[in-house]
Structure 1
């Protein structure tokens, strides 16, 4: 994940030491049997597995499925356990644990996709020798996520280049490159100096900086070796997943949070991206093609500091100088509130519209690069000095992913909301608080708390005493309504999750005074969402993930074509299971003729009379908003 700033535990450990710097939605998505017949629209008694619905491609700044529907990817990173040695670089100790976690991601997290972490060190422990046993175990675990209808995109993860850089008595640890790659560099003993958080190693630890600089320069051929291993990994996956499973693989994230290590004279983040990072991505793209991944995009990340919300950390970048990326790439970035994570740069809770500008920057960069945007990491610590900010930061981050507007202005200016962003939260680690990790292989430093890696604790899930996955964050925040497949183009989306902060319900959206029936129907405590889209005439339905907190028997749906409370399993508005045999559900909306449409989904039951009144209010509102005009 991106490096936040300090924690109370770290500052207590280094009392008296401080530093002023930091460096860091009728079918769903993936179906799990025989492909659908070409004439079938998804949702109508469709086969259990549907490759057309599963596979996404890039079309301008959008992800689209085989039915031409606009797709939004939402989910989690699985899992930071890969950073640890206790399970040999695997996200899970067993296939059974992977299956348990996959079902929980679907049922508790409401996800339709995951970023699946891989370890270069585990894949190539000996130079030139790819460990196919590791790849076999990784593939078996990935299959469990595909089986429950989740899309997957793998990520060769790294932080601070490699675990092998750090000594047994080091304050910090890393992950990524194998030991032989570090030994090839002949680096001196690492030293971070006055560092109160692991992320500061990125800019202050000369050994870490030298190793990363050498990777981009391909010193000792280590970048070539990484590309060889990446190609072997992708070839293995393509060979060992069946056609529909492979359709559920979105693409590949080549490298987590790239940074220069050390700039050359006259170089900055943007020129480094052009001179070093982009050529690497072009090489990786060629390796994807050679491995049979021609139709899948590379999910490329920019210089990790390009959009920091701390001015002294922010650097030029964002792949600005590379030009349009085209359909073979996705603009893949991260966002953390480094100021609040620090515990001292910003002591306030996040507010309505807090990150609208930050995420508008991401949307604008997506447009400039003519590529979909994916925010593959975001989140906030759940323990430590800044953990009281987590509910507000989480709500504000999801708000900004859903819309480029604040809640107080959305209804007045919805046509300017912008696209719904795809994203995966950091992170989903069922072992949270149950680890047994020897930090840097030191038997005297066994880490069990939190994520067991550099004092981080961001997992949205844990296992209870019965071994059952349970959420560590408010389910109202985590299991969200979102448009997972839209038969056309999304014009605006709002979700008021009614999540809690310190026991209080937080509502940011403000319904206009000239929509009193809508205000009464949404109430003050029940969640609701609004989707506006322009239909493309396809027979495939628009669908939204329905959170577990919405009881289908009392859920109200109001569209421009029909209204219902308690939608059944047939009709123009209906409820259906999400693919994959879990308890997760979706709302299916038929009738996607060309032109604007709206849908309100509320957890509050309503009489037919009230629904009709709300329909009139929404119709007047949508006409006045002049969507798409």
Structure 2
């Protein structure tokens, strides 16, 4: 999401792209302004929509027993190790950059790794940059993306390539789709405040309807989208650092919404793209997102199960990548008072609904986006709570975003913000077995990781220990240490078949 930012005065400004690090956008905010009187009317409309969605999903989708085996699925590497993925979205600046590229340099990637030990980046792509003309692909653009993938690969990152859109594309005052694929029939599509209302501008609605086939378009836009993904997947099929492909950022159904959209046009597109990707890439993960307008707020999803042409069960590599933006925070609130109580209810519902959908999809969970202006009251407490929830769920996280400013771990001058210590948490990067649990007790400065080892898994368990909490490394009980890499801050412990429970505390 996001294409604008708000400064402290609440005024909206365009984000700039392609800037040098020192001139990077001041904020990565998703243009979520402070509350205004008319928000009450918007809120009432949203609540009515939410109630309608709950009724529409009903027990057949939301409460049906999952047909997947009991137990949680994990994102795994080629050796079979379970991956715990933590990192940032990169970057909002790519949306408006003429090249479709983020502002970062390799120096910024190095700073990010050294500052918070992340091992994941959700890297934004733009369809307009991939396919600037119908059926013509810009391989020079993909070469530049590949160069940035290599920057991350040097530091052991996994790169999730995200085909990003907000409000369809530049032709509807958004980002993502090329102008040739924007059929708005000359209807108005202006920038709005808040930016999310751009989705209901007549021109944007019409463009989405033509894309999804709600209205007849002049060309098969969904086929073009699938073929663009096939071209991207062919380019990155042999890149080991690429985790996989996030098929569409926060899909919006135009005039078709809720379960009818998710189980209808959206599911059909996902099946089409999955099939296209698997013709050229059999191994990388493919991630699907639900309709954002409901799932972001903790409401159910009606996405159906998707078959993976590479096989079923453990062979399947389809992941679920929902986002989390509680409604009061969408309206500019922090995490305090009545807002905090509402947000807590949202988190509880979001977790329940996401885990229910993941069981139906038989898919591991990756929280593809969450974040807020960390200068707001209680914001850091909220971030810590979301990270703890993700640990309990065994879900990876990609915080929004690395664009310097009040939403980010660094400001425009490269100085750490108060967010950085909250995100810089100890965690097991890779677990050589079936994980049971991992928890970080900040007060006791103790990390506990437990898993059941398996003989068919290659490699050992790797644990990231930040310098701020483990300045001299960790003292380990429950497993033998293979090595301690003080530069990368990674502790490797030996894994053996059977149950293992490892406790790591700072060395004195």
TM-score with structure 2 setting the length: 0.79
Contact 1:492 1:533 in 2 (8 A): yes
Deviation at 1:139, TM superposition (A): 1.7
Aligned to 2:451: 533
Deviation digits for residues 429-465 of structure 1 (CA, Å, limit 9, x no counterpart) = 2xx3xxxxxxxxxxxxxxxxx5xxxxxx52333452x
SS of alignment partner, residue 64 of structure 1: coil
Verify the 8 A CA contact 1:304 1:334 in the aligned structure 2: yes
| Match for residue 335 of structure 1 among 316, 324, 329 | 324
1:201 Cα shift?
2.3
**Conserved in 2, the CA contact under 8 Å of 1:573 and 1:588?**
yes
| Partner residue, 2:485 | 576
- Cα deviation digits, residues 336-378 of structure 1 (max 9, x gap): 2222342359743758977355224323322232111111111
Matches within 5 A, 1:482-493: 482-493=427-438
CA distance in 2, matches of 1:381, 1:132: 36
Superposed, which structure 2 residues align to 1:74-473 within 5 Å? 74-85=86-97, 88-92=99-103, 97-166=104-173, 174-182=174-182, 184-190=183-189, 196-202=193-199, 204-217=200-213, 219-220=217-218, 221-238=220-237, 243=238, 246-263=239-256, 268-290=257-279, 292-309=280-297, 314=299, 316-319=300-303, 321-322=304-305, 326=312, 327-343=316-332, 347-348=336-337, 350=340, 355-383=347-375, 387-403=376-392, 419-429=393-403, 432=404, 450=405, 457-464=406-413, 469-473=414-418
Kindly state the Cα deviation for residue 297 of structure 1 after the two structures are TM-superposed: 2.5
How many residues in Structure 1 have an aligned counterpart in Structure 2? 449
Matched with 2:465 is 546
Superposition pairs of residues 559-574 of structure 1, within 5 angstroms: 559=478, 561=479, 572=481, 574=483
Find the counterpart in structure 1 of residue 55 from structure 2.
none
Is the Cα contact below 8 Å between 2:121 and 2:159 reproduced in 1?
yes
Unaligned runs of 5+ in 1: 25-58, 167-173, 404-418, 433-449, 451-456, 498-506, 508-521, 562-570, 578-582, 606-629
SS of residue paired to 2:244: coil
Is residue 555 of structure 1 aligned with residue 474 of structure 2? yes
Task: Tell me the SS of whatever aligns to 1:273.
Answer: helix
Q: Point out where structure 2 has 5 or more consecutive residues left out of the alignment.
A: 13-32, 48-70
> Larger radius of gyration, structure 1 or 2?
1
Alignment partners' CA distance in 2, 1:13 and 1:484 = 37
Q: Give the alignment's TM-score, normalised by structure 1.
A: 0.65
SS state at 1:295 partner: coil
How far residue 258 of structure 1 moved from its aligned partner, in angstroms, is 0.5
CA distance, structure 1, for counterparts of residue 471 and residue 11 of structure 2: 46
Q: Which residue in 1 is equivalent to 2:29? A: none
Instruction: Give, in whole Å, the separation in 2 of the partners of 1:481 and 1:353.
Output: 24
Runs of 4+ aligned structure 1 residues displaced above 6 Å come to 2-7, 11-16, 351-354
Residue deviations 1:109-164 (CA, integer Å, cap 9, x gap): 21111111111122222333222222222222222111221111111100011122
